[in-house]
A and B are shown apart, each in its own frame.
Chain A
């Protein structure tokens, strides 16, 4: 699994539970190291061990933690770059949802060897959507759920999100847009001084 994904998990656990707990997790996973490099590739087995160890050591259901991680990735100032990249997807939340189809391609455009499973948005009725998360990355739909929730806050929209089973092997998240511009979202300037 790509180092960026492992590194994201590391950033989330360190920021939420602290560095010493993170070391407990990597010790328990028996990785032999505790720092992931964002630009290196790790085996799927290593990442799998990491997720198992997280659940055991941190004593929380993994789906819950992964959803929090999705939220963390969008809302934590540490990873502001990612939030900005997602905001390039559209000027409002609905446009952003439609841009998710392109997300794996966009990711690959930025980092050539970063492969994310496909995403497909279906509009079932005005303001109602289904997001199909293809398989290939364990917990992908959980993380996406957190991302969708946090992005709604970012745009200032009120949405209801729900896991609604699987469809043709893909996990389905249903999205209901309750109110747009429900709250003041965060600002987004196209042109920001790059560090």
Chain B
């Protein structure tokens, strides 16, 4: 038979977090790693249940209860700070000499290693703690690399989406983006206006000075439109020389008229290109979301288009609001009879603005 002291010496190597209890339930020996967790504490002679708070099984009140747990998993924690959680297992010593309790950190090991400054030497050679710490770090590093990849893919996705919604020549939104925004604004039920802008004399610039000149003009036009609107508004290029402006939260005709007037005025500023001056203008038709209740996107765009058509009919550089009845002109467009268009233009004079003014 080995003595208790010999047993404890062996256990120190194999189970460095063991505790030997005497027949009274008092601590008689403590393994070196456990000792390190409370380096200044005098362990010997203190009741086990006074040092540790036994969380599970819950019924344990005294030493007899404790001894009966033989072989079962124990959950405990230190009663004083830091209240590190521990797992344990107890085996009674033969001859009612007390008990052998072996403890380990369980899942609290990550904090414990930090809190108590533990090293490899504090763990038994067969203990998998070091491997677990290795795995936690390795997985964290791998996870971080994956996270970085996800972030970059996310960035690339946003850039690709951005590109899909951008007119590459002018940097304005494209038709697809405009459609989305229009749908969204309609579905949120807010007030806004749609301005359809068509450049006048743009074809002449393209034909006489070439496409490069045309591109320069379009870029200049884009910046003018952005300047004439607010950041909450949408400026989209929806065709060669066709633009749509969505003016958010504004259905006041006088203010919209001012915007259109300012826009036409600035479009008429000659645009220099290769020693030449390009002269263009713009015609604008506006439809309001608020008038006549709910309108869908196609309807609004059609109204803006009809107002634009009326503006074109009235001569260049005009701005018209849509008015019911413009549809009849649209029908007559096919016969291309200017005499039927003229009265409508005259009728709408009240809402007409001209860049020449």
Contact = CB atoms under 8 A, between A and B. Distances in A.
Q: Is the interface of A mostly helix, strand, loop or mixed?
A: loop
A84 B133 CA distance: 11
B150 to A, nearest CB: 9
Nearest to A102: B131
Interface stretch (A13-21, A37-45, A46-54, A141-149): A37-45
A39 B137 contact: no
Contact of B144 (A40, A189, A191, A195): A195
B349 interface: no
A106 B133 CA distance: 12
A109 interface: yes
A160 interface: no
B138 A85 contact: yes
Contacts of A109: 135, 138
Contacts of B148: 38
A194 B140 contact: yes
Interface in A96-110: 106, 109-110
Interface stretch (B116-124, B229-237, B256-264): B116-124
Contacts of A122: none
B146 interface: yes
Contacts of B142: 39, 110-111
Interface in B192-227: none
A111 B112 CA distance: 26
Contacts of B145: 4, 38-39
A110 B144 CA distance: 12
A192 B145 CA distance: 19
B4 interface: no
Interface residues of A, number: 23
B170 to A, nearest CB: 29
B137 A81 contact: yes
Contact of A190 (B113, B144, B149): B113
A182 interface: no
Given A37-B152, A39-B146, A88 B141 contact: no
A194 B149 contact: no
Interface in B53-67: none
Contacts of A37: 149, 152
A90 B120 CA distance: 8
A85 to B, nearest CB: 6
A192 B141 CA distance: 13
A40 B142 CA distance: 12
Interface in A104-130: 106, 109-111
B185 interface: no
Nearest to B110: A191
Nearest to B136: A194
A110 B121 contact: no
Contacts of B141: 81-82, 85, 110
A37 B121 CA distance: 37
A193 B115 CA distance: 11
18 contacts: A37-B149, A37-B152, A39-B149, A81-B141, A82-B141, A85-B137, A88-B130, A90-B120, A91-B119, A106-B134, A110-B142, A111-B138, A111-B142, A189-B114, A190-B130, A191-B110, A191-B133, A194-B137
10 A-B pairs closest in CB distance: A110-B138, A191-B114, A191-B113, A88-B134, A38-B145, A81-B141, A91-B120, A190-B113, A39-B149, A39-B146
Given A191-B112, A191-B114, A191-B133, 4 more contacts: A109-B138, A191-B110, A191-B111, A194-B140
Interface of A: 4, 37-40, 81-82, 84-85, 88, 90-91, 106, 109-111, 189-195
